[in-house]
Amino acid sequence: MRPPLSYAPLGIMIAAAAAPPLAAQGHPGAALERELLADAGARASFQGAGPTGGHDGRFFLGSADGNFRLTVSGEVQFRYYGNIDADTEGSDEYVGGFQHNRVRLDFRGHVIDPRLTYRVQSNFDREDGTMELQDAWGNYAFENGLSLQWGQFKLLFDREFAATSATNFLTIEQSLVSSIFRLDRSQGVQLSYEGDRFRVAGALSDGRRASNTASFDDEVEADIALSGRAEVRLGGAAWKQFRDQTSFRGDRGGALLGVGGHWQQEGATGAPSASADDADLFSYTADAGYEGGGWNVLGAVTGRLIDFDEDEFHDLGFVVQGGVFLTEKAELFARYARFFPDDDRSGGADEFAAITAGLNYYFVAKSHAAKLTGEVTYFPDSQADSASVVRAPDSGAGLAPDEDGGQLGFGVQMQLLF
């Protein structure tokens, strides 16, 4: 096999041959030629310094000394969701269609020092295709297990959404409970500590779901917001084992216990409704999960207290889910989620539940890179009677507006990571 052709030595030969007469003649381009010669020599030396690009799970570029690195990755989640028997006046008995739920590009790496990392992630909106910023942060890891993060990121609160990437869900989408109570992303600073069996993080931010906002955004931002999460790992190979919600055959058994809390005071900067000038929000959650090398189970309870004007609401929800591998690549799963709105909410305050069952097929064993998921969800309760907290239509969950309950949603999703 012929060796790959390199142009750097050829450039050195040409520049070396041309340089003496140009210098002797005092040619005005002599300085430029010397720079080209030096650059060609540097490139020739650089070629032997080791690999600076490739694919090790992500496509990457890096400096030879390892102090600078950029990785590029992305994901595509394409799905079909349909719904049967959503009996709201004026709606069809069957609705459905295709959509790109997530199309994201992800850039991450480190600069100057491997301990100084960064991430910039964007998503294309499923409705109009415009690109939106999701994550944009820097992080410095100290040698004692502490790290400091700043920018826009997920507020660490719950296991299901904040501590798990959307590409690593057990089901097609997060549960009904998570979609209601999650904090989502915000802008702020976060200090965290990770040990062998225990880790904790606390953040000062603009508050719940306050991404891509200006400093004085009175529609979204809180005056002050504090968030935190603590986890204990019992068994398992390492923390990275709990980045997803499944357990492949051959994985070590282990449990993860977690608690989270969030408090924010709205005041003059933001409020949960147009009629409220001052509000407090306190959210809490506790979760426990076990991964047993081919099977998994996860349960969580989440609640929140909202105090504004003369009203005070206490909402609550819980979710239980589990999965088991039938083969090395096929995983059966089921989930039950239930939401309990406060009785004092106007417009009705009935409970609302979602019962889901489905199957994951992993094209490559132990990898989420190519995964096909099919599921069916039964909604026995009336969405219209849930005090409008359960919003519809929700194409992400296959939920349509409904007045008497009994609707059935089904979805199929193909996921590709690159």
Residues 29 and 85 in one domain: no
Least confident stretch, 38-47, 283-292, 329-338: 38-47
Same domain, 214 and 303: yes
Report the pLDDT value the prediction gives residue 270, as an integer from 0 to 100: 53
Is residue 159 classed as helix, strand or coil in its secondary structure? coil
The whole-chain average pLDDT of the chain stands at 85
The number of domains in the chain is: 2
| Of 235 and 415, more confident | 415
Residue 104, judged by CB atoms within 10 A of its CB (0-12, 13-18, 19+), counts as: buried
Give the mean model confidence (pLDDT) for residues 264-284.
69
Q: Tell whether 278 and 178 lie within a shared domain.
A: yes
Structure tokens at 83: 């719904």
Q: Binning pLDDT at 50, 70 and 90, where does residue 33 land?
A: low
Cβ-proximal residues to 11 (8 Å cutoff; 6+ apart), any chain: 36, 40, 43
Q: Are 37 and 77 members of one domain? A: no
All residues at 6 or more sequence positions from 263 whose CB lies less than 8 Å from its CB, including other chains: 225, 226, 280, 281, 282, 283
Omega before 393 within 30 of 0, i.e. cis = yes
**Mean per-residue pLDDT for 147-162?**
96
* Overall pTM surpassing 0.75 (yes/no): yes
Residue 326's domain comprises: 49-417
Q: Are residues 44 and 57 in the same domain?
A: no
Residue 293 shares a structural domain with residue 203: yes
Please tell me whether residues 1 and 127 are part of one structural domain.
no
Whether 24 and 63 share a structural domain? no
CATH number for the domain harbouring residue 386:
2.40.160.10
Tens of pLDDT, residues 331-384: 999 999 999 999 888 766 789 999 999 999 999 999 999 999 999 999 999 888
Asked whether residue 17 falls in the same domain as residue 165, the answer is no
Locate 266 and state its tokens.
């709205």
Q: Are residues 127 and 177 in the same domain?
A: yes
